[in-house]
Structures are given as structure tokens and as C-alpha cells.
Amino acid sequence: MLAAPDRGEYEPFVLYPEQEDFVLRYYEINPHTGKRRFRRGVISRPRGWG
């Protein structure tokens, strides 16, 4: 639940499918080492996207 400046109530934060894919891939675990595959990540899109 996140606060929004233009709303009085908290609302669930819902990701777009591309954002979901990015987050799931970012936290992916390497099956051989048991460690996370990525240490850094950036998703860059035009202003107003998502």
C-alpha cells in the first residue's frame, strides 16, 4: 500500500507487466551459486510511463 498526494486513502501499488518482468528478473537467483544474478539494474523509460 502506498500513499498518493492526490488521494486520502492508501492504494495497492500495481506494476505494469514490463515492470513486473523487470523486478522478477532483477531478483533472480543463480541456481548454481545460490546468489542473486544481478547486483545493479536500471529500467529507463520516457517520463509519464508507468
Q: How many domains does the chain have?
A: 1
pLDDT (tens digit per residue) in 3-17: 777 777 888 888 889
| DSSP assignment of 4-48 | -TT-SS-B-----HHHHHHHHHHTPBPTTT-SBS-S-------TT
pLDDT (tens digit per residue) in 16-33: 899 899 999 999 999 999
Regarding pTM above 0.75, the answer is no
Residue 2 lies in a domain: no
User: The domain containing residue 45 runs over which residues?
Assistant: 15-50
Residue 23 lies in a domain: yes
Note the pLDDT of residue 36: 94
Residue 47 lies in a domain: yes
Residue 29 lies in a domain: yes
pLDDT > 70? residue 50 = no
Note the pLDDT of residue 47: 85
Residue 1 lies in a domain: no
Note the pLDDT of residue 45: 84
